[in-house]
A = this chain, B = another copy of it.
Amino acid sequence: MPLKKVYGVGVGPGDRELITLKALRVLKEVNKVFVPISKLGRRSLAYEIIKDFIKDKHIEELLFPMVKDKNKLKSYWDEALRKILKEDGEVAIVTIGDPTLYSTFSYLWKLLKENGVEVEVINGVSSIFASAKALNMPLVEGDEKLCILPQGKDLYKYIDEFDTIIVMKTKNLKECLKDIMNRDDILIGLVKKASFNDEKVFFGKIKDAKFEEFNDYLSMAIIKKVKE
């Protein structure tokens, strides 16, 4: 039986209980579960979330290092694709959060579709919502406008126009937020590892933030204008 279907399974932001019934069912039914790792020997966060649910399941790692060189990166995608195309029946690739929002899965999704493979995404709870929950406040309500600016791209342009801005996908939030460092009319929430046991939170004026405590890829900033 050749490869029939690939599931891209979102396993939620970190808290194991935030996995959906559908993700669990699919992970139990497939022949193999692929887990992404960023470095050989490093544990996969997505795997940590699911491991107790799928004991005795065939697991295989896919290496996606955080390199900027597009050709180098492409060689890793191609290698992952080769591994997946060798499988039989249905397999799953897990991803932290949701597979449609800045997920490493999106590149594989495209490659698999180009190769005529059926792909089904299983949505998951995103870390942007887990971060708002950690800050004990809504992300947006009513007719408020929200934007997500990876690495704070063009932050200076949008800070006065959007009610809520999310900056994520960076190890250096302080550098990304430098344009608004002196603003007294905004409040900033910083969240590291939202929903994990060792979650860390700051909420207040940007000048009081200890950025050095929020300096990994699982940190994000939620920026809000102070309303009159």
Which listed residue, B24, B100, B146, touches A147 by the CB 8 Å rule?
B146
Contact stretch, chosen from A55-63, A150-158, A179-187, A202-210: A150-158
For the complex, what is the distance from the CA of A121 to the CA of B150, rounded to whole Å?
26
Which listed residue, B15, B20, B121, B126, touches A12 by the CB 8 Å rule?
B20
Q: How many copies does the complex hold?
A: 2
1/0 per residue A136-174: CB within 8 Å of B?
111111111111111101100100011000000100000
B contact residues around A132 at 8 Å (CB): 100-101, 121
For the complex, what is the distance from the CA of A144 to the CA of B22, rounded to whole Å?
28
For chain A, the bracket of interface size reads: 35 or more
Contact stretch, chosen from A35-43, A103-111, A211-219: A103-111
Known: A100-B132, A101-B129, A125-B20. A106 touches B141 (CB 8 A): yes
A177 lies within 8 A of chain B by Cβ: no
B contact residues around A161 at 8 Å (CB): 154, 157
Measured CB to CB, the nearest residue on chain B to A166 is B146
For the complex, what is the distance from the CA of A157 to the CA of B157, rounded to whole Å?
12
Is A148 a contact of B149 with CB atoms below 8 Å? no
Is A145 a contact of B138 with CB atoms below 8 Å? no
Is B22 a contact of A20 with CB atoms below 8 Å? no
A221 lies within 8 A of chain B by Cβ: no
B contact residues around A17 at 8 Å (CB): 20-22, 25
A19 lies within 8 A of chain B by Cβ: yes
B contact residues around A195 at 8 Å (CB): 123
Known: A21-B17, A21-B18. A150 touches B145 (CB 8 A): yes
Which listed residue, B13, B22, B102, B147, touches A18 by the CB 8 Å rule?
B22
Q: Which residues of A contact B (CB under 8 A)?
A: 10, 12-13, 15-22, 24-25, 98-103, 106-107, 109, 113, 119, 121, 123-126, 129-130, 132-133, 136-151, 153-154, 157, 161-162, 169, 195
